[in-house]
Amino acid sequence: MAAETDKPEKMMDVSVWRGGPDGGAFESFKAPQQESQTILDVVTYIQQNEDPSLAYRFACRVGMCGSCAMMVNGQPRWTCRTHVQKVLKDNKLVIAPLRNLPVIRDLATDMTVFFDKWTAAEASFTPTKTRHDPMAPINPETPERLAASEAIECINCAVCYAACDAVAGNEDYLGPAALNRAWTLVNDVRDGGHESRMDAVSAAGGCHNCHSMGNCAQFCPNELNPTASIAGLKRATVKAALGLRK
């Protein structure tokens, strides 16, 4: 701590949620403001200089791995790409674990249920060919491929899942990320799991739980639009129910 007090740095107030599965409370820290500083930088500063027992999760620090998302001033954000200057309010930051997920400790959530729902939505590729077949030609300009490409860049950060009020109201709801992934596969001409996926995404907890509030699209750090994907799934399930082709 001595090194920080030598310099006339501008300090900010940081409230960090501390606790575990059984509850917890916010703890106050001071952290110096720096140029181009991210929220993850602030959390790391606190862990390295104030309290080494602070638990949080990160890996790549460049917005690719999707492991560092947290609630920042009440909004879900990827902390490694969120600049402090963009979200600092009254010289204060409030940092908490992601909403809608059980907490392991402090800022680290247990994402098991999030990924279990990807499996439940059958959001995995069902091959129709073997490795002995020639590679399937994919035309990137077809409407199906364009729809899939628009939704494909998900990094599994669970920001949309934390933002979603439908998830908050129904713990069985599969959530925006899993359904968004299912939508990319509905549009993948190589995929062979359409019928069972339609059953999975239209069952209880499926796409029809979405109220189109758009929180997912509002906060997706990669600017995907799961609300649009889920609307596409709703249309696809209606077509499937009417016996029409997808």
Partner 1 sequence: MISPHRSHPLWFAFLLHRVSGLALALFLPLHFYVLAMALTSPEALDGFLSWTDMTIVKLAEYGLVFLLAAHFFGGLRLLALEFLPWSPRQKTLAAGAVALAFFVSTTFFLSAV
Q: Are 111 and 103 in contact (CB under 8 A)?
A: no
Q: At closest approach, how far in Å is the CB of 93 from partner 1?
A: 13
Q: Give the CA distances from residue 194 to residues 124, 138, 166, 191, in Å, rounded to whole numbers and listed in that order.
A: 11, 18, 25, 7
Residue of 206, 234, 236, 240 that binds partner 1 (CB under 8 A): 234
Q: Does position 91 bind partner 1 by CB under 8 A?
A: no
Q: Does position 37 bind partner 1 by CB under 8 A?
A: no
Q: Coil, strand, or helix at residue 46? A: helix
Identity of the residue, 99 or 181, whose beta carbon is nearer to partner 1 in the bound complex: 99
Q: Are 12 and 30 in contact (CB under 8 A)?
A: yes
Residue of 76, 97, 193, 221 that binds partner 1 (CB under 8 A): 76
DSSP, res 94: E
Candidates 8-16, 42-50, 56-64, 213-221; binding stretch for partner 1 (CB under 8 A): 213-221
Q: At closest approach, how far in Å is the CB of 150 from partner 1?
A: 9
Q: At closest approach, how far in Å is the CB of 142 from partner 1?
A: 15
Q: Does position 75 bind partner 1 by CB under 8 A?
A: yes
Candidates 107-115, 130-138, 189-197, 221-229; binding stretch for partner 1 (CB under 8 A): 221-229
Residue of 125, 152, 231, 246 that binds partner 1 (CB under 8 A): 231
Q: For residue 43, give the nearest of 78, 9, 7, 89 by alpha carbon.
A: 78
CA–centroid distance for 141 within its chain: 28
Q: Are 84 and 39 in contact (CB under 8 A)?
A: yes
Q: Does position 232 bind partner 1 by CB under 8 A?
A: yes
Q: Does position 73 bind partner 1 by CB under 8 A?
A: yes
Candidates 16-24, 114-122, 158-166, 170-178; binding stretch for partner 1 (CB under 8 A): 158-166
The span from the CA of 46 to the CA of 44, in Å, is: 5
Give the strands of the sheet with 92-96, arranged side by side. Answer: 23-32, 11-20, 92-96, 69-72, 75-78
Q: Does position 183 bind partner 1 by CB under 8 A?
A: no
The span from the CA of 174 to the CA of 209, in Å, is: 9
Helix (H) or strand (E) holding 108: strand 108-109
Q: Does position 55 bind partner 1 by CB under 8 A?
A: no
Q: Does position 165 bind partner 1 by CB under 8 A?
A: yes
Q: At closest approach, how far in Å is the CB of 225 from partner 1?
A: 8
Tokens of 129: 């060919």
What are the residues binding partner 1 (CB under 8 A)? Answer: 73-76, 99, 162-163, 165, 211-215, 217-219, 225, 227-228, 231-232, 234-235, 238
